[in-house]
Amino acid sequence: MRKFWAVVKREYIQRVRAKIFVLMTILAPAMMGFFAIVPSLIFNMQTGGPVKIAVVDQTGRIYQRLSAVLKEPYEPSDLKQEVTELQNANLDKNLKRFSKNGGTNIVLEEVRPDTTPIAAIQAELERRVKSKDLDGYLLLPADLMNGGEPILFSRNTGDLFTSRQLRDALSRAVNAERLGEANIDTVTISKLSKGIELQTVKAGAAAGERDSGEAFAVVFAAGFVMYLTILLYGQVVLGAVIEEKETRIAEILFSSIKPFTLMTGKLVGVSLVALTQLAIWGLAFAAFAVYGVSVLAERGVPVNIPGIPLINFFFFGLFFLLGYYLYSTLYAFIGSMVTTPQEGGQLAMPLVFLLLIGFYFFLPVSRSPDSTFSFWVSMIPCFAPVTMMVRIVTQTPPFWQIAMSLLIGFGTVTLLIWIASRIYRVGMLMYGKKATIPEVWRWLRKA
């Protein structure tokens, strides 16, 4: 036991003291913040002047409405905010924010077709687009009201920002016009068509504890942090095993301690490093939730941090350990089979995919956490850390399910450690070439 703790201590102290650990502990939250904030900042960046669009209105009625709609604050037409359309939802949100700040950046110019043939008008507009006098022109067919398709000729077809805004504004203008045609009073229309906003409140939550997206952020963060830390620390174990093999320390170690003791000591040591890091992040988050939010609120920046039950942090720790031990044992196994970090990286690819698949499951699971699919996927050990955690955060399953998932998981881990330690000893002492699968199978049977 003393030898085991010596290995644990060595792994822990050497790693926690390393610059990379300190750096990662500080940088990781900063980086997550960076990725959360910077894209929206960039989306909001407007380089160059306003977008000039000429509108050839062959209906003769839509232009006024369109330009009026564009002057209103932007409201995305599609409020469904499908989770799978995260990116789009994001864009819409940014569009919304942008138009709130300064209205639209689209400048319209009306071109009346009158008697000029449409081809001639188009040719003239094409010329102006080419000479950069215009950024594009919108062709509204005469039968627009009856299903005719408007076409946007744009110099920059990649400008989603503009095309989306135009599409939404146009469809609203056309709708309004159609309703007007049906002799419905516009005031009544706006009253009748006033959108509602759906508020999501977690069932059982205290009244007034509103939830507008933050809970989703928590689910996402839980899944993502889980995925990332398991991957990260799995790689640490892989590196540690390969180092001992590459530098030939293994032989001296094996002459002093049992391979099983060495391997488990290493796994435990690195897991403590990971828990230390997670604890630091958790405390930083808590400190922010308690002090940071109130300070920001005083300065007029409202930040809404949803209440996370403390037990969830505990579950996070448990499921992290499950995922960590599962994947790290496999990483250790791979590390003992290869001779260089490069080979290790290649052989470990399937593990990364497996982890990634588990991470992707967080979407379907977060949508229906109590479905049969969610149940089974949270019982499979290699997916359980992310999926069960997502279930716990969204809609805590009955305790027996959590317990069962943990039981199956840690049972699998025990089995894996038993298998891996058998192969570990032989693999670690084999220098010069990568082990083949039949060889590994033979070691396993003989050990």
Shortest distance in whole angstroms from residue 278 CB to another protein: 24
Residue 335 near residue 241, CB atoms below 8 Å: yes
Which one of residues 2, 80, 191, 194 is an interface residue with another protein (CB under 8 A)? 2
Nearer to another protein, 13 or 295 (CB): 13
Interface residues for another protein in 54-93 (CB under 8 A)? none
Shortest distance in whole angstroms from residue 238 CB to another protein: 16
22 binds another protein (CB under 8 A): no
Shortest distance in whole angstroms from residue 429 CB to another protein: 7
433-437 long-range Cβ contacts below 8 angstroms, 24+ apart: 433/339, 434/337, 434/338, 434/339, 434/343, 434/347, 435/337, 435/338
Interface residues for another protein in 151-180 (CB under 8 A)? none
Nearer to another protein, 70 or 426 (CB): 426
Pull the structure tokens for residue 302.
């409202």
Interface residues for another protein in 248-267 (CB under 8 A)? 248-249, 251-258
14 binds another protein (CB under 8 A): yes
Per CB under 8 A, the segment of 6-14, 204-212, 357-365, 406-414 that binds another protein is: 6-14
Nearer to another protein, 31 or 249 (CB): 249
Per CB under 8 A, the segment of 164-172, 223-231, 245-253, 266-274 that binds another protein is: 245-253
Shortest distance in whole angstroms from residue 10 CB to another protein: 5
Residue 191 near residue 334, CB atoms below 8 Å: no
128 binds another protein (CB under 8 A): no
The structure tokens 């890091």 sit at: 277
Tallying the residues shown for the chain, one arrives at 447
**Quick one: DSSP state of residue 412?**
H
The pattern of x and - marking residues 320 through 359 that bind another protein according to CB under 8 A reads ----------------------------------------
Which one of residues 6, 179, 184, 232 is an interface residue with another protein (CB under 8 A)? 6
Instruction: Determine the residue type at 377.
Output: V
Per CB under 8 A, the segment of 1-9, 50-58, 283-291, 361-369 that binds another protein is: 1-9
Nearer to another protein, 10 or 155 (CB): 10
Alpha-carbon separation of residue 235 from 97, 208, 218, 270 (angstroms):
40, 44, 25, 11
Nearer to another protein, 14 or 294 (CB): 14
**What's the distance, CA 276 to chain centroid?**
24
Nearer to another protein, 253 or 305 (CB): 253
Residue 289 near residue 214, CB atoms below 8 Å: no
23 binds another protein (CB under 8 A): no
Instruction: Determine the residue type at 62.
Output: I
Size of the site for another protein (CB under 8 A): 24
Nearer to another protein, 249 or 303 (CB): 249
272 binds another protein (CB under 8 A): no
Burial 339-358 (b: 16+ CB within 10 A, else e): beeeebbebbeebeeebeeb
How far apart CA 273 and CA 310 sit, in angstroms, is 22
Burial of 432 (0-12, 13-18, 19+ CB in 10 A): exposed
188 binds another protein (CB under 8 A): no
Beta carbons within 10 angstroms of residue 234's beta carbon: 27
How far apart CA 227 and CA 345 sit, in angstroms, is 18
Beta carbons within 10 angstroms of residue 307's beta carbon: 14
Nearer to another protein, 3 or 167 (CB): 3
Shortest distance in whole angstroms from residue 156 CB to another protein: 52
130 binds another protein (CB under 8 A): no
Q: Collapse the DSSP code of 139 into the 3-class scheme (helix H, G, I; strand E, B; otherwise coil) and give the result.
A: strand
Burial 244-277 (b: 16+ CB within 10 A, else e): bbbeeebeebbeebebbbbbbbbbbbbbbbbbeb
The pattern of x and - marking residues 395 through 434 that bind another protein according to CB under 8 A reads ------------------------------x---x-x---
How far apart CA 380 and CA 142 sit, in angstroms, is 59
Pull the structure tokens for residue 202.
């977690």
The residues that touch another protein, with contacts defined as CB under 8 A, are 2-3, 6-7, 10, 14, 18, 243, 246-249, 251-258, 425, 429, 431, 442
